[in-house]
Amino acid sequence: MMVLALESAGASAGVALAGDEGVLAEATVHTSRRHVELLHPLVAEVLVLAGASVGDLDAVAADVGPGLFTGIRVGVSAAKAIAMARAIPAVGVTSLRAIEAAARDAGASGAVVPVVDLRRGEVAWSLSGEIAFGPAGRLAEQLRTAGEAGVLAGDGALRYADVLAGEGWEVAGRSLSSAPVASVAVLAHAAASKGATLDPARLVPCYLREADARINWTTRHDGSRKGG
Amino acid sequence: MSAPPAAPRRVLAIETSCDETAASVVDDGRTVVSSVVSSQIDLHARYGGVVPELASRAHTELIVPVVTEALAGAGLGPDGRGKRPVDAVAATVGPGLVGALLVGISAAKSLAMAWEVPFVGVNHLEGHLYASLLEEPDLELPVVVLLVSGGHTLLVRMDAPGRYEVLGRTRDDAAGEAFDKVARFLGLGYPGGPAIDRTAVAGDPSSVRFPRALLEGSLDFSFSGLKTAVVNYVDSHPEVATEDVAASFQDAVVDVLVRKTLEAAARSRAKGICLAGGVAANSELRRRAAEAALGAGLGIFLPSRAMCTDNAAMIASAGYFRLVAGRTTAMDAGAEPGLGFAEPGSTRRA
Ligand SMILES: [Zn+2]
């Protein structure tokens, strides 16, 4: 079973190929911009590095978020389209699960709480397997009442370290600021091996927050809009 | 990239630059095999305009079903298999809403990669020029195309597919933007073009003489003064019938558009004129353009309303002519939200 994984939900663009023996090849560029420019050349490169072709793929996975809306859509649209075009299934992996898995791989013992920056003063986190989002202060309260201690990982943890760290909770370093694509690939491979896959049309982003539909005519009419 | 395969060539195109998710299969740049357009107008109507985040979300949901339907219409499975598989995948790279463009570009590059065929990035404005050619393959060139939409007002001379010259453009608001703003001011709803068109039918176009910005000697346009004139007139004449204002405003816009188009055709010795873009669906513009062209002994082509508004068939057609010219696009191409007409767009070749 060979699974291609795409990562573009945070401050990196990454592609990895996982086989039954683990990750076969991976490539990551650390940037929060230019996901659409980087992702496809990285797919081509990773396939070449692993000596594989698109015809060898059994499933395609994407980090579905939570994270940067635009980046998530680039990855999800790409994964869906590749899966559709090759008549293979898709797999969705949340950024939170991938960050948590990466923190465990890095040797974290005890509790691991992935925390992703949602901007506008909010973060998303996963505590005891439940995904939630809100101001970092709310997570801080939950951490205090949880009575545990452990590691906080992700760009949200780094950004709000002053609010979140302390009382036994430590913030992981920059290497875990976004989901490492190898973790996305390994989780996706495990899911696909169990048959936990989706029809490509059903791979959807995990936004958590509703779209902000407030209209701002002055900014919307700056020439960026077109129609007809 | 190796040389494109031998003709006939089949292009699948994706268009997601604004609020329509569209996909189409076109053969040889001229024969529309299938064309699917999923409009989000209802989604945005209550906000009085396109909400970029909502548009991007809808494109992400619709992209697979819309492409699947377009492929099915060409006798192909979702995996592209069938009697005549596609030879290239095209997508609009700009201008448009960046988040919306990215969905189509990402999907199109993926399909091209998965099928091992070239990717072709297309300028949306260039796409609009092919609407007439798709519906009238025997169109005599050169023609002057008046491209009028919510974001653009352009006069372009088309000498051959891939060979154009911009003769005039708006210096401020696009024609469609003026329609939208005046419709909103008059409380006629969104989208503004069709709303004004409908309302104007019951009004007298000669009831108010709004100014025409003719910018003597130039083929450029300016509509911001007209919009201000409408606001000022209604503010000082609150008793005026909305129908009369709509009809008089529309008359002023159409008057300028038609006069400039005719002048452009005369100056460039064109054989005829074509309309393109969403505003080209306006019934008064169509009527007056046809009348003026006939009077001047020029050919006139009015694309169907479906071909005027955003669709992927026109992108497939423009993509085909890029493909045969060897102008395929590299996999590191991005969205170009502010792309203008003069710039060829996606110049990074594969
Ligand atoms: Zn358009």
Question: What's the mean pLDDT when you consider all of chain A?
Answer: 91
Residue B43: per-residue pLDDT: 81
> Do both B167 and B103 map to the same domain?
no
> Quick one: pLDDT band at residue A128, thresholds 50, 70, 90?
confident
Contacts of B59 in chain A (CB under 8 A): 73, 77
**Cβ burial A156-182 (10 Å sphere, 16+ → b, else e):** bbbbbbeebbeeebbbbeeebbbbbbb
Residue count (chain B): 350
Chain A residues whose CB is inside 8 A of the B96 CB are 226
Same domain, yes or no: B78 and B166: no
Q: pLDDT value at position B347? A: 39
Q: Beta strands A59-65 and A22-29: pairing type?
A: unpaired
Whether residue B146 is contained in a domain is answered as: yes
Residue among A207, A215, A226 whose CB faces B149 most closely: A226
Within a domain: residue B1? no
Q: pLDDT digit of tens for each residue in chain B (350 aa)?
A: 566 556 579 999 999 999 999 999 999 999 999 999 998 878 887 777 788 999 999 999 999 999 999 999 999 999 999 999 999 999 999 999 999 999 999 999 999 999 999 999 999 999 999 999 999 988 999 999 999 998 899 999 999 998 999 999 999 999 999 999 999 999 998 889 999 999 999 999 999 999 998 898 999 999 999 999 999 999 999 999 999 999 999 999 999 999 999 999 999 999 999 999 999 999 999 999 999 999 999 999 999 999 999 999 999 999 999 999 999 999 999 999 999 886 544 433 33
- Collect all residues of chain B within an 8 Å Cβ-Cβ radius of residue A212: 53
Residues B51 and B90 in one domain: yes
Burial class (CB in 10 A: 0-12, 13-18, 19+), B300: buried
Determine whether the interchain pair A54/B54 forms a contact, defined as Cβ–Cβ distance below 8 Å: no
Residue A222: is its pLDDT beyond 80? no
Q: Is residue B344 part of a domain?
A: no
**Closest in A78, A204, A228 to B110, CB measured:** A78
ipTM here: 0.93
The answer to whether residue B227 sits within a structural domain is yes
Same domain, B48 and B114: yes
Q: How confident is the model at residue A31 (pLDDT cuts 50, 70, 90)?
A: confident
pLDDT at A213: 64
Amino acid identity for residue A179 in this structure: A
Cβ pair A223:B151 closer than 8 A: yes
Taking Cα atoms as reference points, which of B139, B24, B112 lies closest to residue B330? B112
Residue B50 belongs to a domain with what CATH number?
A: 3.30.420.40
Distance B128 CA to ligand 1 centre (A): 7
CA-to-CA distance for A201 and A203, rounded, in angstroms?
Answer: 6
| In a shared domain, residues B148 and B272 | yes
Report the candidate in A102, A120, A107 with the shortest Cα–Cα distance to residue A26: A102
Structural domain boundaries, residue B177: 138-305
B102 and B146 co-located in one domain: no
Residue B314 lies in a domain: yes
Residues B200 and B268 in one domain: yes
Contact (CB<8Å) B47/A226: no
Q: Determine the Cα–Cα distance for residues A167 and A145; give it in Å rounded to an integer.
A: 11
Both B22 and B168 in one domain: the answer is no
Note whether B320 and B295 are same-domain residues: no
